């Protein structure tokens, strides 16, 4: 069974590898350029190894690129020892391309400036562009090493949520940035980090324009008529119980556009005021019977 699972995972990892490397290259170029053009010159310590590199440059005079290269190589060696080469391989690839782009884009910043009259606007725009870059890297299945490597090692042994580990690490780095560059810069750094993560997540998952809904009701026939005739959407019925094998009922599984959710809620209130509805963002809709308003 494990052999079969490993083959499936290997197939998924190797699928569209040329396309994924192309996306990695584009994302690495965007993220590296913004790091050299805006983050370093303005001392935006938003977390991660890039933020630590800015602190090291300010305190010890170490070049940011050299610091990132040396520390990441050390972390990768530790990662290989502690969690294995296979779990570290995509970090090595991502780090290699990102480092190449860091070195490639550094001279370009002499000719391209990224400054606007409003510094807040500059921060917002730079964080959005950086988020696109890192989102493309992560969407391709890679990462750039650095703090990501530390998170992976901690998560491997402590089994804590990745987001929580990352938040703790970035919080410590931002506090160090506040102590070095002042609270105002740290506020900008927090804004940068929040927007960058939001844009990055949007690139990874895609913007949700659909909802996946689970509905239970004591009037299933009326709900079927409402879904098929009024909303004109497809649905799936799954038989369920209360967990102990009694009180059988059906669960409706429905995918519809976000704009139609309010109409569904209003219809449910009229059909059955005690109906139960759970809805989640739905990022991928393929095949099946769908209304033309539900994007596929």
pLDDT digits (tens, 9 = 90+) for 38-69: 999 999 999 999 999 999 999 999 999 899 98
Mean pLDDT for all residues in the chain: 85
pLDDT at res. 3: 54
Q: Given a cut of 70, is residue 291 above it in pLDDT?
A: no
pLDDT at res. 8: 45
Q: Given a cut of 70, is residue 216 above it in pLDDT?
A: yes
Burial class for 137, CB neighbours closer than 10 Å (0-12, 13-18, 19+): buried
> What's the CATH number for 210-282?
3.30.70.120
Tell me the CA distances in angstroms from 29 to 85, 149, 174, 223, one per residue in order: 26, 20, 25, 51
Question: Would you call 61 helix, strand, or coil by DSSP?
Answer: coil
Q: What is the pLDDT of residues 3-35, one digit of tens each?
A: 544 554 454 455 577 888 899 999 999 999 999
Distance CA 130, CA 134 (A): 6
Instruction: Average the pLDDT over each of 142-146, 171-175, 265-269 and give the range with the smallest value.
Output: 142-146
Kindly state the average pLDDT of the residues 62-85. Answer: 91
Which of 17-21, 162-166, 220-224 has the highest average model confidence (pLDDT)? 220-224
Distance CA 147, CA 75 (A): 9
Distance CA 82, CA 33 (A): 32
Domain extents for the chain? 2-205, 210-282
Tell if the pTM clears 0.85, that is, is over it. no
Q: Given a cut of 50, is residue 261 above it in pLDDT?
A: yes
- Nearest 5°: CA angle at 102, between 206 and 144? 50
Kindly state the average pLDDT of the residues 105-114. Answer: 84
Q: How many residues does the chain have?
A: 296
Q: Given a cut of 60, is residue 288 above it in pLDDT?
A: no
Q: Given a cut of 70, is residue 295 above it in pLDDT?
A: no
Percent of the chain whose pLDDT exceeds 90: 46
């Amino acid at each position: 069974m494990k052999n079969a699972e490993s083959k499936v995972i290997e197939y998924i990892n190797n699928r569209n590898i040329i396309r994924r490397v192309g996306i990695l290259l584009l994302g690495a170029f965007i993220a590296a350029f913004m790091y050299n053009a805006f983050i370093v010159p303005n001392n935006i310590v938003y977390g991660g190894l890039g933020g630590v590199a800015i602190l090291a440059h300010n305190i010890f005079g170490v070049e940011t690129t050299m610091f990132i290269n040396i520390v990441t190589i050390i972390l990768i060696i530790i990662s290989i020892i502690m969690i294995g080469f296979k779990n570290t391989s995509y970090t090595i690839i991502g780090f290699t391309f990102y480092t190449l782009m860091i070195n490639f884009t550094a001279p370009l910043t002499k000719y391209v400036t990224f400054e606007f009259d409003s510094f807040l606007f500059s921060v917002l725009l730079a964080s959005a562009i950086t988020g696109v870059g890192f989102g493309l890297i992560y969407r391709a299945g890679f990462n750039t090493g650095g703090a990501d490597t530390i998170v992976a090692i901690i998560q491997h042994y402590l089994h804590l949520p990745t987001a929580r580990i990352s938040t703790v690490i970035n919080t410590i780095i931002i506090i160090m940035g506040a102590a070095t560059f002042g609270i105002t810069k740290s506020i900008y750094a927090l804004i940068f980090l929040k927007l960058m993560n939001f844009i990055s997540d949007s690139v990874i998952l895609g913007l949700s324009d659909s909802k996946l809904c689970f509905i239970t009701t004591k009037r299933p026939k009326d709900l079927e008529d409402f879904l098929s005739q009024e909303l004109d959407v497809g649905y799936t019925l799954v038989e369920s119980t209360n967990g102990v094998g009694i009180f059988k009922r059906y669960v409706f599984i429905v995918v519809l556009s976000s704009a139609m959710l309010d109409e569904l809620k209003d219809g449910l209130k009229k059909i059955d005021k005690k109906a139960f509805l759970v809805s989640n963002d739905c990022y991928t809709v393929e095949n099946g019977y769908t209304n033309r308003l539900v994007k596929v």
